[in-house]
Structure 1
Amino acid sequence: MITALDHVQLAAPEGSEALLRAFYADVLGMTEIPKPPVLAARGGCWFAAGGVQLHVGVERDFRPARKAHPGLRVRDIEAFAGRLSARGAEVTWDDDLPGHRRFYSTDPVGNRLEFLEPLTDA
């Protein structure tokens, strides 16, 4: 009996934590949350915004997720896209999801991210 989505996990190469922090905290505006010490020893970073947690873990044979991705709901998507663009992130708009405004971007290690906003609160 599933009650909620606890977090989404993405992978990243060893030693990329500084890049991840700069992107997820500074560009996206998420807050880094502490990992438990036993998990922190493995590398990676955890972030949160609203009720969403995004965990980025280290993977030795890392390959970025180019199709699989988290879909992150945002408010004022035009301003959010402008924020990303102004900080050097590529924004690719996609109009294929009825009832939503959305775009794709990638994190600094190449993982695909979707950002979307419903056109109405229905």
Structure 2
Amino acid sequence: MTDVTGDHQATVRIKNLLLRAYIGIKEEEINNQQDVLINVCLSYDGTNAINENDIAAALNYRTITKEIIRHVDGNRFALLERLTHEVLAIVMEHAAVTWAAVEIDKPHALRYAESVSVTLEAHRSKS
């Protein structure tokens, strides 16, 4: 096997995490849970995970997913922008994450549209 040395920026994608939450400002939205579809893309330095081939050296995306589920599922949010911001903050709480983008879709939010989504991203500043 060819040895590839150097830094390895790993990209992890959590795709189509389907949860239910109270999201919106109209009475119907406040009183009824709706589907939200969450997509997360994040980067971290995967060099140690590659070299050690050990879960302890990798970013635990299962933990991140569980934190997102706990925060979103069944909870209340007025705006899609705020919900997206809060999910992005959960991802960025993990020090290993150097960049992340979160897109959250609200299916059937508009007539004739499959969904409406908001995307936010963050970069960790280098100190």
Do both proteins adopt the same fold according to a TM-score greater than 0.5, normalized to the shorter chain?
no
Under a length normalisation based on structure 1, what TM-score does the superposition of the two structures give?
A: 0.29
Greater fraction of residues in helix: 2
Q: Which one has a bigger Cα radius of gyration?
A: 2
Greater fraction of residues in strand: 2
